[in-house]
Structure 1
Amino acid sequence: LQQRKEKQLKLLKTAMLQTLFTKKNVPQLRFKGFTDTWKQRKLGEVTKIVSGGTPSTNISKYWNGNINWYSPTEIGNQTFVNSSKKKITELGLKESSAKLLPGKKTILFTSRAGIGDMAIMNTDGSTNQGFQSWVVKPHITDIYFLYSLGSKLKKQALRKASGSTFLEISNSEVKKLTLYLPGFKEQTIIGKIIELIDKLITFQQGKTNKLESLKQFLLQNMFI
């Protein structure tokens, strides 16, 4: 039953994304009160695209500080990230190309060796050079709305990627990725609904995992 509910929620989310985020300038599904056409924009016009960097690993004063410093391997299936495995110091940040990104306003976007993995950063932090992160602009782009467009933007990024050793997409090419945007108010409403569905999916997954753990416990302890 839990798995069925989880599947139904995922199907609902997919159906919403397919009808809301189309290539047309007016989606099939629309909330009451909104009639303006969606406008095609470049990602670099509606967000600030920020590259990462790595402080020298030979200088101990740069490391084990209190500033989050993410690597692509830490960005997986989770929607939000709060704390990185490795951390750098203020000096490490200052004397490297790493940049401090604002929490709750930044989407981490991996740009090499696994292009297009994404997570919303809840707290301030920085990244290594394997990212081209998106900092949303106030009252222009809703962060969860943009995060929900991730799969479409990832497909574009993979087409634009290049490299002989491994595929990578540059800062300038990420800026050229295109998307359709409604007004900020409509973005916010859509973002909140998609986020609610994601939370319900996570809740159902949690219940399913607990039931599976209970089953394993019973199988291990009730049968000779």
Structure 2
Amino acid sequence: MKRIADVSKILSGGTPRKNIPAHWGGTIPWFSAANMHEKYLEKSDINLTEEGLKNGSRIAPKGATLLLVRGSGLFNRIPICFAKAAIAFNQDVKAFVPDQHTDPLFFHYWFESMRPVLSENLGVTGIGAGKFDTDFLLELPFPDLPRSDQEEIGRVAALCDQKIELNRRMATTLEEIARAIYQSWFVNFDPVKAKAEGLPPAFMDEATASLFPDQFGDDGLPEGWAFGKLGDVAITPRNGVKPEQIDPDTPYIGLEHMPRRSIALFDWGAAADISSQKSRMSKGDFLFGKLRPYFHKVGIVPLDGICSTDIVVVRPKSPEWGSFVLAVISSDEFVEHTNSGSSGTRMPRTSWGEMARYEVVLPNPAIATRFEEITKPWRDRIVEIAHENRTLANLRDTLLPKLMSGELRVGEAWEQAEAEDAA
């Protein structure tokens, strides 16, 4: 075995001064603990200018592996990411750049396989944050394999990741289509406007169009619709559970498992490590992150289990309101409402009481039912995708150690990976 130090160089990043506008808002993607949520890093919601890069940060080249080495979030999750393009990064991140004899993808997956070792060797800073010492990272072992073998193994793992990414995109597309319909029907009132002008609603069959009124009332709403509140159509099932009452294998979702701005929840843990009261959740419920709600963490529960009490479990009062409720609580307007009504400054929290007071426009139940009929299969598909991705990730993580040790041949791994991809 070699060492990480023998096959790569390590780079340290930085943060330009934030009070200088000329440093920010450019075209250079910049990453820190706050936005290292995906495996592959390419575009960021925070960007530097060339001046900002020269005055406080650093570029990791395409093909580098980035590791968060300092932060309280390390106790929940260790971000290990792959640079799909040249990107900048901050001082809490290290970038590992493989040498010419080392395949970048293989290097990355090898680092991924070292998660258990990393978890066992996580240190603590003076202020209680997690940390990895650079000397420890450089001494990690690395397989002494020819680059050609590394490339073959990397391609097998990448096949699983490509399928996972395609699934993510499908889930995102389904979410966007459902949101577009919600916006058209319940915010812009497009079908009602069309009928009021004597036109057929666009992209709608006659049976669905017949459910919509052809005029507006004095209150400005479609005739027969009414102003209401989220609490009129949704509840939160208050069902707390203590650690000693929970099977250790019970699925657990914390805020760390919830991505921002995505209703698809692809990740969860187990109850074995919890030490405080949690909330029960059921498959098909919706979750809303109430701690720092501006993070916009909302999702569909993919399986029965428990969740953090920093998450509100939301359930429609009756099935026909399911997609309507999800569209409301995942909207930018709703998140802004909860954020503005939060209590606390450093760690603001919202509450179900604040959420339930949110004003909504309630259509007649027949239209809500039709919206549910159209969109529920998409919600169900998103949940299926979550489980497919979980299976693919487990397959990848099972194959890699066997390939790296020589226990499994690349050809056999290809067959297993392609069989799962075809399924």
1:57-86 per-residue CA deviation (whole Å, 9 max, x = no partner) reads 12222222222211112122x331211121
Partner residue of 1:163 out of 108, 111, 125: 125
Q: Displacement of 1:46 after TM fit? A: 0.8
User: Which residues of 2 match residues 92-107 of structure 1 at below 5 A?
Assistant: 92-96=52-56, 98-103=57-62, 105-107=63-65
CA contact (8 A) 2:32 2:89 kept: yes
Give the match for residue 14 of structure 1: none
Q: Displacement of 1:127 after TM fit? A: 0.4
Q: Displacement of 1:146 after TM fit? A: 1.8
CA contact (8 A) 2:70 2:131 kept: yes
Aligned-partner residue type, residue 65 of structure 2: I
SS at match of 1:108: strand
Counterpart CA distance in 1 for 2:149 and 2:110 is 14
Q: Displacement of 1:223 after TM fit? A: 6.8
Q: For the structure 1 residues 205 and 53, does the alpha-carbon distance in structure 2 shift closer, same or farther, using more than 3 Å as the test?
A: closer
Give the match for residue 110 of structure 1: 68
SS at match of 1:141: coil
Partner residue of 1:128 out of 90, 101, 115: 90
Give the match for residue 33 of structure 1: none
1:13-37 per-residue CA deviation (whole Å, 9 max, x = no partner) reads xxxxxxxxxxxxxxxxxxxxxxxxx
- Do structure 1's residue 49 and structure 2's residue 198 form an aligned pair? no
Q: Displacement of 1:193 after TM fit? A: 1.2
Give the match for residue 102 of structure 2: 141
1:123-171 per-residue CA deviation (whole Å, 9 max, x = no partner) reads 2111011211111212x22122122223432333331533232011133
CA contact (8 A) 2:64 2:97 kept: yes
CA contact (8 A) 2:42 2:87 kept: no
Aligned-pair RMSD on alpha carbons? 2.9
Give the match for residue 82 of structure 1: 42
Aligned-partner residue type, residue 132 of structure 1: K
Give the match for residue 3 of structure 1: none
Unaligned residue ranges in structure 1 (runs of 5+):
1-39
Q: Displacement of 1:204 after TM fit? A: 4.6
Q: Displacement of 1:45 after TM fit? A: 1.6
Q: For the structure 1 residues 206 and 61, does the alpha-carbon distance in structure 2 shift closer, same or farther, using more than 3 Å as the test?
A: closer
Q: Displacement of 1:222 after TM fit? A: 6.4
SS at match of 1:54: coil
Aligned-partner residue type, residue 68 of structure 2: T
User: Which residues of 2 match residues 14-33 of structure 1 at below 5 A?
Assistant: none
TM-score, normalised relative to structure 2? 0.38
1:174-213 per-residue CA deviation (whole Å, 9 max, x = no partner) reads 2122222311100001101110122123435655777898
Q: For the structure 1 residues 67 and 210, does the alpha-carbon distance in structure 2 shift closer, same or farther, using more than 3 Å as the test?
A: closer
Q: For the structure 1 residues 101 and 203, does the alpha-carbon distance in structure 2 shift closer, same or farther, using more than 3 Å as the test?
A: closer
SS at match of 1:100: strand
CA contact (8 A) 2:70 2:93 kept: yes
- Do structure 1's residue 176 and structure 2's residue 134 form an aligned pair? no
Q: For the structure 1 residues 170 and 91, does the alpha-carbon distance in structure 2 shift closer, same or farther, using more than 3 Å as the test?
A: farther
CA contact (8 A) 2:66 2:80 kept: yes
Q: Percent identity?
A: 23
Aligned-partner residue type, residue 152 of structure 2: I
1:74-115 per-residue CA deviation (whole Å, 9 max, x = no partner) reads 122x3312111211122222222x211212x21121112234
Counterpart CA distance in 1 for 2:160 and 2:144 is 21
Aligned-partner residue type, residue 195 of structure 1: A
Counterpart CA distance in 1 for 2:169 and 2:87 is 28
CA contact (8 A) 1:64 1:89 kept: yes
Counterpart CA distance in 1 for 2:173 and 2:27 is 34
Q: For the structure 1 residues 160 and 43, does the alpha-carbon distance in structure 2 shift closer, same or farther, using more than 3 Å as the test?
A: farther
